[in-house]
């Protein structure tokens, strides 16, 4: 069973910083794209940033220059450094990953699909 667990959310004042972490665990063969999404109250979930296995990154325009996504392939982890936070960054942040994993009684079969973490709340307020 594969799991993604986020950490690092919290309450921060405008202009402050937070660093989110997400660790994948389980019978993982390979992790392809990883990303961070967010969902504010009453809004749809949106992609914040993504990173390929090779390190190529994509950001939503609203966070460019303020957020940095990175990953540690050895630890099956992805991070989101968030600086110059604004009130409009307030949301639940979710980690997502495209994972090739083993399954079956002897873990001799493989499959691939996307996994989600449960989310971590980020609140930017004075």
pLDDT in tens, the chain (126 residues): 899 999 999 999 999 999 999 999 999 999 999 999 999 999 999 999 999 999 999 999 999 999 999 999 999 999 999 999 999 999 999 999 999 999 999 999 999 999 999 999 999 999
SS3 87: helix
How far apart CA 20 and CA 12 sit, in angstroms, is 13
User: Which residues have a Cβ under 8 Å from the Cβ of 44 and sit 6 or more positions away?
Assistant: none
CA 5 distance to own-chain centroid: 9
Contact assessment for residue 10 and residue 123, using Cβ atoms and an 8 Å cutoff? yes
How far apart CA 82 and CA 99 sit, in angstroms, is 25
Overall size of the chain counted in residues: 126
């Amino acid at each position: 069973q594969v799991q993604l667990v986020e950490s690092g959310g919290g309450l921060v004042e405008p202009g402050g910083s937070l660093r989110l972490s997400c660790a994948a665990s389980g019978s993982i063969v390979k992790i392809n794209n990883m990303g961070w999404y967010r969902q504010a109250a009453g809004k749809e979930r949106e992609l914040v940033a993504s990173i390929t296995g090779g390190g190529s990154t994509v950001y939503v325009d609203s966070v460019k220059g303020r957020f940095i996504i990175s990953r540690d392939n050895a630890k099956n982890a992805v991070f989101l450094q968030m600086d110059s936070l604004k009130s409009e960054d307030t949301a639940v942040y979710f980690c997502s990953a495209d994972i090739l994993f083993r399954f079956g009684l002897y873990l001799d079969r493989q499959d691939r699909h996307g996994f989600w973490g449960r989310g971590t709340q980020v609140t930017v307020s004075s």
